[in-house]
Structure 1
């Protein structure tokens, strides 16, 4: 795993076996070009970095005190029909990329014009209190604040359950990064992992 912290350098963790194959020693410093070469020698490659966003302490407190808009609520199995219509109307690539599912650990949605127009879901990362978030808005409803409202509501609920909301998006997904910032999240780092080709 690699974390690039803005203005502070970065951190790289590898299994001892991968580090040995790459010829890397613990505690050393390495530049990006050298890292790429070392991983190639080890037969490894990075997957492609994502932005990582989290709530700063003051933003967390503000979020906890908010009441979600009436059109935003937690979704349950009773919302299966509305969610199915939403998934059918959403672009397939968007649904795949966002990985929003009704059967995830926590799911919220925003309704407008009598239908579900934005949805967000979370699942806890195994063995942690990080709750990873995906969100999608139907194309014709984008730019109206629905995703921002939904993200803030689901994140507030996750915080109330003792989880740390985590928002990830690809480095070149400017609209998603803008949504994270609009929802009050702060960029923590760029995060990358060794590609798993299995």
Structure 2
């Protein structure tokens, strides 16, 4: 359903290392090359599998070893016992290969265009009309790798921006923000699809993330044609367990 780029990327994140437990539902891998910010990660895929990966240091603190009986509830209980805090999962959405082909055939609409640094004043007015919470949640910036905007009566009312997810990975993470009075009119759907088409044309896979409790964003992802890949969680920045001094 999803591109090889997506499936290979997540396999590399969760199956690169020493697999200490694996059954039809749950897999645990120890990887010494994880960054400190990713020293524990969990991915629950849309088809019901759960993958976990952690550093040897965290595995030692949890008293994990190869061959011992394991399950997701046991794993999470061990995390809690050791004081390992997770950040809180994000939904991960991508276009299926079929939906990608539909998207690439679409023509841009007249009220929508790519934004550049020349649109600084327009974008500043747009930002000033949004709440601080919406700005923080959306993380839409004019200086990102690509920015698209939808207009109503020459006013920028919805914008989406994206940036490469990681160095040497052909995935581009996107954010989207629509001003409150203009929601429900299809603006967000248009900018998400337009910027995603742009990403594909530049050789990148668009990635849409949102927190599990952000129902509006989850609905938007589906309306824009994206499909849920899974729920991804990572160690909390506030967690000190297994962190370098």
Distance 1:91 1:60 in 2: 33
Aligned residues of 1:18 and 1:42 also touching (Cα < 8 A): no
> What does residue 87 of structure 1 align with?
127
| Residues 29 and 52 of structure 1: CA distance in aligned 2, closer, same or farther (over 3 Å) | farther
1:65 to 85, 105, 128: 105
In structure 2, the gaps of 5 or more residues are: 1-40, 240-245
In structure 1, the gaps of 5 or more residues are: none
TM-score by length of 1: 0.94
| Residues 30 and 53 of structure 1: CA distance in aligned 2, closer, same or farther (over 3 Å) | farther
Distance 1:73 1:27 in 2: 55
Q: Secondary structure at the match of 2:147?
A: strand
Aligned residues of 2:176 and 2:192 also touching (Cα < 8 A): yes
> What does residue 163 of structure 2 align with?
123
TM-score by length of 2: 0.77
Distance 2:66 2:170 in 1: 27
Structure 1 stretches of 4+ moved >6 Å: none
Residue 32 of structure 1 and its aligned partner are, at CA, apart by 4.0
> What does residue 108 of structure 1 align with?
148
Residues 137-164 of structure 1 show CA distances to partners (whole Å, capped at 9, x for unaligned) of 0000000000000000000000110111
CA RMSD of aligned residues (A): 1.6
Distance 2:107 2:199 in 1: 14
Report how many aligned residue pairs link the two structures: 198
Residue 42 of structure 1 and its aligned partner are, at CA, apart by 3.6
Residue 40 of structure 1 and its aligned partner are, at CA, apart by 2.9
| Residues 30 and 189 of structure 1: CA distance in aligned 2, closer, same or farther (over 3 Å) | farther
Distance 1:153 1:81 in 2: 22
